[in-house]
Structure 1
């Protein structure tokens, strides 16, 4: 009874507790605006114009044997995918770009979720704190998934493509799961090199938008989901979306290369959403 009394005092006239109510009072009578204020996503960086424009292609030279193994594993994976998907041959069309983005983002969303889950279980098993890694890894996983959700607004994959994703995911999830149990440092270095390639890919896409090779996206408006997620301007175009995605990938690159150098019990230097 005492607990019910406390809850009753905390609730507002709208029937919502303050931490659920958020900014709904300022948007009364506007259901769409109220819906937009619901914070159901994990924290993630919102990039400024200067930040997205300043992203550059970088490369961390492999030092340890595990670094070299991770690097060449990524290079082999990229070569195989570019060849199998036909990305390396002929003109790169909108359909080809979307096929590449959708497939790669279904893979890129795996490491953060698997790593976060295993660290979560480790924390439970050892009954000790995780030092902030779980949040960063889960943020990364959701961020990559939002890249996928954005691309899906422009192209719906075929049943054959969906089956290919299912097979690739089934293989990659299990391989990464075992690899993370054996060597988390190797896995973070692998993701760091994978994100280096992602930055190269999106930089290439931006160049093709600018030079007219991908003229379809020069005047294509940003999907609504992307505008809301990255808090873009209402008149944002696909180029602005790709700039934000590239900034995300550069951030994941730097985060994973950093985590790959830390001990498992070191404090995560990246605060939530940073």
Structure 2
């Protein structure tokens, strides 16, 4: 197996106390002393290293354990008869044109519920920026937080992996909570749900596949695991009670969360294309096998850039779906994205609608 190892700082110069704490804690985010990226080749055993620590960055490495001790966090278990377990929801795929057409976007808050959801999302974004030690020079324009991607200083590969793993561990919660509550509601009320449950659970599954893909590239350390545990505990319970009170506000909040995800992956793509992430543009780098199978990635489209394109398109779809669901009657409207229309028209496509569809457009 060929592994590309990078010695990379996870943090820039600390300017606030929160960033100083993050700089002290970040070495335990990932448990190998260099972030390891694997090319899945059964015949090769050579390794090489790329020093990607940028001038002015902190000396602390991204991880704490030697790359030789890097383990598969969810190894395949051999059984006597089963060859493999296919995905419960096979990915429907995208064309290259659809993926390239995705752009950051923002739905301006209109109602009080929208404003609450947007403010909560901005607080969460500030918390993630602080916890991952993003310096002031690495932040983009605060006046356009979900669309501006330019910054004075790029993020390192280590910082990107920290953000990806933390983001995806959180993003997989809302769909599961909403799908579970709507499932129980359907049973309790003895009524059909008209397609919401399946879409919400599939969204949660898709987000988990993003996380599993990134975990094949970096195994989280104990501090990251504690952060995920605490965040998930708070987030799950908050989402559970919030969805009972106002599903509409929850879907708007998730729509804003997905806006942030599209922004994050768009900025990452820009830095990859600008050559600011050398480990990911190295010719020997290849995405994990789990990603190749899930997205059915063509043989000549298996770079880190291609992987981010697929994931960004997924997030753009979730963005459009949740903003649209937030506009519908939560008790009686069917899910337009899986419905057949009387006129024979195609279901709406959420990928290119950052603000989602209004109710009168789809009902």
CA distance in 2: counterparts of 1:249 and 1:45, whole angstroms: 14
Q: 1:43–1:139: 8 Å Cα contact kept in structure 2?
A: no
CA distance in 2: counterparts of 1:134 and 1:175, whole angstroms: 20
CA distance in 2: counterparts of 1:39 and 1:98, whole angstroms: 26
Q: 1:44–1:139: 8 Å Cα contact kept in structure 2?
A: no
Residue segments in structure 2 that go unaligned for 5+ positions in a row: 1-81, 139-153, 340-346, 350-363
Match of 1:147 in 2: 210
CA distance in 2: counterparts of 1:125 and 1:136, whole angstroms: 20
Pairwise CA distance, 1:212: 1.1
CA distance in 2: counterparts of 1:229 and 1:48, whole angstroms: 15
Match of 2:334 in 1: 267
Match of 1:241 in 2: 307
- The superposition leaves residues 168-189 of structure 1 with CA deviations (integer Å, 9 ceiling, x where unpaired) of 1001000000000000000000
User: Structure 1 runs of 4+ off > 6 angstroms?
Assistant: none
CA distance in 1: counterparts of 2:89 and 2:116, whole angstroms: 32
- The superposition leaves residues 224-244 of structure 1 with CA deviations (integer Å, 9 ceiling, x where unpaired) of 111111111123111100000
Matches within 5 A, 1:191-230: 191-219=254-282, 220-230=285-295
Match of 1:4 in 2: none
1:67 aligns with 2:83: no
How many residue pairs get aligned? The number is 240
Give the SS at the match of 2:336: coil
The RMSD of aligned alpha carbons is 1.8
Cα distance change on mapping 1:135 and 1:242 into 2, 3 Å:
same
CA distance in 1: counterparts of 2:247 and 2:135, whole angstroms: 32
1:53 aligns with 2:100: yes
Match of 2:156 in 1: 93
Match of 1:169 in 2: 232
CA distance in 1: counterparts of 2:219 and 2:156, whole angstroms: 16
Q: 1:116–1:138: 8 Å Cα contact kept in structure 2?
A: yes
- The superposition leaves residues 31-78 of structure 1 with CA deviations (integer Å, 9 ceiling, x where unpaired) of xxx957x64321433111111111011111111110011011101110
User: Comparing both structures, which one devotes a greater share of its residues to strand?
Assistant: 2
> Which stretch has the larger CA shift, 233-242 or 165-174?
233-242
Q: 1:116–1:137: 8 Å Cα contact kept in structure 2?
A: yes
- The superposition leaves residues 146-172 of structure 1 with CA deviations (integer Å, 9 ceiling, x where unpaired) of 000110111000012111111110010
Match of 2:126 in 1: 79
Pairwise CA distance, 1:121: 0.2
Q: 1:52–1:247: 8 Å Cα contact kept in structure 2?
A: yes
Q: 2:91–2:294: 8 Å Cα contact kept in structure 1?
A: no
CA distance in 2: counterparts of 1:61 and 1:164, whole angstroms: 31
Residue segments in structure 1 that go unaligned for 5+ positions in a row: 1-33
Using the size of structure 1 for normalisation, the TM-score is 0.84
Using the size of structure 2 for normalisation, the TM-score is 0.64
